[in-house]
Structures are given as structure tokens and as C-alpha cells.
Amino acid sequence: MRRALGGVVLAAVCSSFAASALAQPPSTESQPQRGKVTSRIQRTEDERDRFELGMAVPQGYFDWLGTFGYRRFMREGGPLEQSLAAEISGTAKDYLGEGALSVYYFFRPIQSYKEGWKLRPLIEAGPGGHVVVQIADVEGFNDSAFHTQAYLKAHLYGGFEFLFSQKLGLVVRGRVTLPEDHPFDYAQAAILLR
Amino acid sequence: MHSPQKFFPGSDPTSWDACDKFGTPGDQIQICASTGLLAGQPAPTYNIRFNMPNAGHVTIGVFDAHAKLVKYLLNDDEPATLPGQFRQPPVIWDFTDSEGHHVSAGDYRVYFQTGDFQSTSDVVIE
């Protein structure tokens, strides 16, 4: 009885080994070095796009700025996460109105936060191109004056993000812009949706 | 960014220096302007002369380069002028704002409007 049981176990082990050998032919690819990390965490498709609806307090003539932005995460390899963002903004005060279209390319240190954190510090920098249109109502006359200008600036953002859920969060940040008369040129709070 | 831009004179500077006539014959408005010292004025002023073929409301206003209103020089009903004659006295701008303060050097635009007619002239203060 004991010899028969041993034979069954031996046959099962041999069968399993043979099946394993058949299912996994010898690979011709180079094997990863022992201890080297070959996988990386990437954003899911849902996490790559996000929208930001916010308000900002800018330096200068205007008291407030309404903003709507779209951001696409482009690349996560290396020490800097990269993203492309487009933002439209608008404001008005007294006789003057302003609208702007901005496009940014941001670099954010990947070590500055971890995916599991709900409250994340935000530090990112990059160039921004802006097309700004101002419209002035010529008071008392049936006329409006227009002025359009394009700028290329460098920006540094600092603040934090708070994620209520995977889809909803809040971002609060300040911006330094160069060249600019007032380098700390705006503070913004925005709801982010993704 | 986020500061008022310079709207005037822009790419289309205008001037009343040449005493241009506007409108159709028989219904023409002529506007002339120049800087000079008028009798009774302590300093040179910007003097605007115009005729009115028909009575109507006239508004003349000065705006700074950022299109912000500096001062209304005239905002009143005006009678028709006699043929070939300008309104008397001319409308003057003494280079002050609505509070009586002298304006700073820079570009300014003067608007003239009566009925559907509108014209502008740029003034540079150095």
C-alpha cells in the first residue's frame, strides 16, 4: 500500500514536471538580471486625462480669473512626469474684458509624491504659450477696442492636490512666471475631474 | 499678462490735423484740431473746431492708451452752425483728467460722436 502510494506521488510529480517542460519551451530572450526592477506603475487610461475647473486671483488689474483646463499625462518614465495642458481663462473688470488660451508642458518630479497619497504636494514647472485678447468698451461711445498679444513664458507651480476619490479632487496652487513684472502672478483653486 | 494693454494708437492712428471733411456733400462735418495757446488760456491746449450741419447731441471724450476714459470734453445738445463756420468757442482739452489733475505723458485718443457719425484723433503728450 505504501509502495503504491509512493508510485502515484512519483508519477504525479514526473507528469507535472513533463507538462511544465512542454508548456514552457526554453526562451531565447535574455533573462532579467536578478534584483533589477523591470516593471513600473503607469497611469490607467482613466487617469491620463483630467479636467480642471477653477478660479484664480491674478496679480495686476483684474480681481479674479475663471479657468477651465484639460491635462494629458504624456510620459512617466524617468525622474520627471510630463504632461501637456491647455487652459482657457476669462475675466472682466469695469470697461475691460480679457480672454486667454494657454498651452503648457509641465515637468513634475516623480519622487515628490506617491500614488497612494490622497494629499499630494504639487511642484511642477515648464514653458507656457499664451494668446491673450483684451476688449475695451469705449465708455459713452458705440465702439470697442481690441488688443491681441502672444507670450511665451516660463512657469513654476507650487501647491497641493487633494483627491476625494479616483475621479474627483481639489488642487490649490500658486504660480511664479518669468519674465513678468510681478513674478508671483497668480493663486488658483480648481476642482479636478478625471 | 492680466494688465490693461495699450489699445491706442494701435495700428490705425488717426488725426484731425488735416481738417478732414466727413459725410456727404450738404451734410458734411468738418473737424480740425491742433495744440496752441488760445486767448484767455494760461497754457497751450488741444483745441477742437467742428461744424454742425444739423442740430444734434455731440459727445467728445478723451481716453488714455489703455482705453480708459480720462474726461468728457463735451456731452451736450448742439445747435447747427452757420454754413462755413465752426462752433464757437472751440472745445478745448487742457490736458487734465475729470478731477482736474494733469495727465501724464503718453498716447491719448479723442472720440467725437454725433448721431451715427464717429471720428477719432490721437494725441501724444511728451
Q: What is the pLDDT of residues B46-86, one digit of tens each?
A: 999 999 999 999 999 999 999 999 999 999 999 999 988 99
* Mean pLDDT within A81-87: 96
Q: How far is residue B29 CA from its own chain's centroid?
A: 13
User: CB of B86 within 8 Å of any CB in chain A?
Assistant: no
Reading phi first (left if > 0) and then psi (alpha if -120 to 50, else beta), residue A80 is in beta
The residue of chain A nearest to residue B2, with distances taken between CA atoms, is A60
Q: How far is B88 from chain A (nearest CA, A)?
A: 24
Grid-cell match 533589477, residue found: A36
Residue, of A41 and A136, whose pLDDT is higher: A136
**From CA B101, how far away is CA A95, in angstroms rounded?**
21
* Mean pLDDT within B87-91: 95
| Residue A143: strand pairing partners | A138
A141-163 pLDDT, tens per residue?
989 999 999 999 999 999 999 99
| Residue B64: strand pairing partners | B108
| Residue of B63, B72, B75 lying closest to A138 (CB–CB) | B63
Q: Cell digits for A186?
A: 497668480
Q: Give the C-alpha distances (Å, rounded to integers) separating A89 from A49, A55, A150.
A: 19, 9, 14
Please say if the pLDDT value at position A4 is more than 50: no
What share of chain A in percent tops pLDDT 90?
66
Q: Within 13 Å, how many C-alpha atoms sit on residue A172's CB side?
A: 3
Please say if the pLDDT value at position A41 is more than 90: no
pTM: 0.77
Q: How far is A58 from chain B (nearest CA, A)?
A: 7
Grid-cell match 488760445, residue found: B38
* Mean pLDDT within A109-128: 93
Grid-cell match 479632487, residue found: A169
**Contact B111/A138, CB-based, under 8 Å?**
yes
User: How long, in residues, is chain B?
Assistant: 126
Residue B90: band (very low, low, confident or very high) from pLDDT cuts 50, 70, 90: very high
**Contact B118/A61, CB-based, under 8 Å?**
no
Residue A42: band (very low, low, confident or very high) from pLDDT cuts 50, 70, 90: low
Handedness of CA A10, A11, A14, A15 (dihedral sign): negative
- List Cβ neighbours of B94 (8 Å cut-off, separation of 6 or more): B41, B43, B45
| Residue of A96, A100, A140 lying closest to B59 (CB–CB) | A140
Grid-cell match 502510494, residue found: A5
Please say if the pLDDT value at position A77 is more than 80: no
What is the pLDDT at residue A43? 63
Sheet holding B45-50, edge to edge: B21-22, B29-36, B45-50, B91-93
Q: Cell digits for A168?
A: 474627483
